[in-house]
Structure 1
Amino acid sequence: MRNAIKIDRDTIITIDNSGCIGEKEHDCVKVPNELAAYYSARVSILEQWCAGAQPTHLFLANFTSEDAWADYQKGFAKAFEEIGEKMPPLNGSTESNFTSMQSGLSLTVVGKKAFEINEENCDWFIVGRPLVGEEVVMNPADVAKLNELILLIKIGIIKHVWPVGSKGIKAECKKIFKNNEIECALPLEKSGGPSTCVIVAVDREQLGQFFDTITAPIEKLIIK
């Protein structure tokens, strides 16, 4: 697992935070609240998949405003619509005593184990490119697609998926491959933002279907 927490045999908890991204005057990245929520849900879903789980419940901590709640809910629903799943029940709380200068949300996802992780007889690739801030909005074709990933997970072609976060590809690879060195054509230390790229282990015998299905850029990850 990456940053997920295993509560019991089958229960997995993941969380993602989004700050200073939204519609407020002092936000650092100006995007619709719905889009900020979509990418937050995206990260949390990928974290669940990384642990071999599927989301069952969502909990939102909304620091933006009461009006933002509906937009956030739409953004979460869009992520689940993309993977062909009904959005799990959403609960949570809104800070209504004070008005914040910038947008902020925290999404906690509860999930249940749904599939096994097996990296044997696999080659490793990066799907998508590391993007952050305005780059995410300007380069949608370079973002790994959730629907393509989950399709290949369900039919056993992708055996493991590992989202890339703010510390970049190199930092994530250290968690997976320990002291092994890696090579990749992508910038290894650049932030992956809202996990616009993911590390995947692909069954060597099914590489053809992997390349036929994925529409985002693919780069080979060489493990030394």
Structure 2
Amino acid sequence: MRDVLFVPFYDGTELVVATDGSAAIGEKEKDIVHAPYDVVAYFAARVAFMEVLSVGAKLHAVVLQNFVHDEAWETLCNGIRRTCQELHIDIPVIGSSETNFPTLQSAVGITVVGTVQTERKRVGITPKDAKFAVIGEPLVGDEVLKRNERVLSLSLFQALLRQTCIYEIVPIGSKGIYYELQQLLQANGLAFSSCSCKLPLFASAGPSTAILISYHPCVEEEVKKIAKSLFFPLFID
């Protein structure tokens, strides 16, 4: 299952909803990973944005759930705005802050709402002769900040979205490459007995620091040219 909810809306159009959250990451003393709140919101937002955009949808609104404290609201919004700026979009942000009780660790939730025409969904369209690759490296926690150059950038993500011979794009989450590949193949009625890649197949990719793509063999060289050292072929049997 993709981490996206599709809801029939009107005239062949569907609502698309995706969400991401982070906990114990922030500026509080008991947080496990220490990072500024705009950075926390940026990475949480990019996950939800990528999920919605990867299925061919248009973005409409962002919902922010702030469990840090009320004073963090504007800083968190700045992180979301940074995501929007990198994607060259402008959409409204609404949400709520926990103001009744203090929390010992930081927590943030971000939900993105979009729409897509059913006939244009980039889901379940990978053919049997498709090739597969991972773009970016699976990173989590402090690694995301320390090895930022190995994180799939949003500009690269958008460049890959524009490639018409890339069938499907799947943001990789905490369950890793193998899980996302398994889900993608099952959704397309495809089976495999084994797979191999230079990257660790079961490592968490945290805030979608990498994506899985299925593509027509004819565009492999073009994709390699765009992704450069972040291109990792994924072989299945």
Which of the five TM-score ranges fits, normalised by the shorter chain?
A: over 0.9
CA distance in 2, matches of 1:85, 1:157: 24
CA distance in 2, matches of 1:17, 1:174: 23
Kindly indicate whether residue 156 of structure 2 is the aligned counterpart of residue 175 of structure 1: no
User: What is the DSSP-based 3-state SS (H/G/I as helix, E as strand, rest coil) of the residue aligned with 2:89?
Assistant: coil
Task: Give the structure 1 partner of residue 221 of structure 2.
Answer: 208
CA distance in 1, matches of 2:126, 2:22: 31
User: What is the DSSP-based 3-state SS (H/G/I as helix, E as strand, rest coil) of the residue aligned with 2:143?
Assistant: helix
Kindly indicate whether residue 190 of structure 2 is the aligned counterpart of residue 186 of structure 1: no
1:55 to 45, 52, 59: 59
User: What is the DSSP-based 3-state SS (H/G/I as helix, E as strand, rest coil) of the residue aligned with 1:165?
Assistant: coil
TM-score (norm 1): 0.93
CA distance in 1, matches of 2:121, 2:27: 40
Aligned-residue Cα RMSD (Å) equals 1.7
Structure 2 alignment gaps of length 5 or more: none
Task: Give the structure 2 partner of residue 7 of structure 1.
Answer: 7
* Deviations 1:121-141, CA, capped at 9 Å, x for gaps: 532110011101000000011
TM-score (norm 2): 0.88
Task: Give the structure 1 partner of residue 107 of structure 2.
Answer: 104
* Deviations 1:18-37, CA, capped at 9 Å, x for gaps: 11111111111000101110
Matches within 5 A, 1:128-167: 128-167=136-175
Q: Residue 48 of structure 1: CA displacement?
A: 0.8
CA distance in 2, matches of 1:109, 1:153: 18
User: What is the DSSP-based 3-state SS (H/G/I as helix, E as strand, rest coil) of the residue aligned with 2:70?
Assistant: coil
Q: Residue 161 of structure 1: CA displacement?
A: 0.8
Structure 1 alignment gaps of length 5 or more: none
CA distance in 2, matches of 1:36, 1:159: 30
Task: Give the structure 1 partner of residue 126 of structure 2.
Answer: 119
Amino acid at match of 1:16: D
* Deviations 1:49-79, CA, capped at 9 Å, x for gaps: 3332132111111100111111111111111
Kindly tell me the number of residue pairs found equivalent between the two proteins. Answer: 223
* Deviations 1:96-130, CA, capped at 9 Å, x for gaps: 01111111111111011175424245321100111
Amino acid at match of 1:5: L
CA distance in 1, matches of 2:197, 2:5: 29
CA distance in 2, matches of 1:145, 1:221: 20
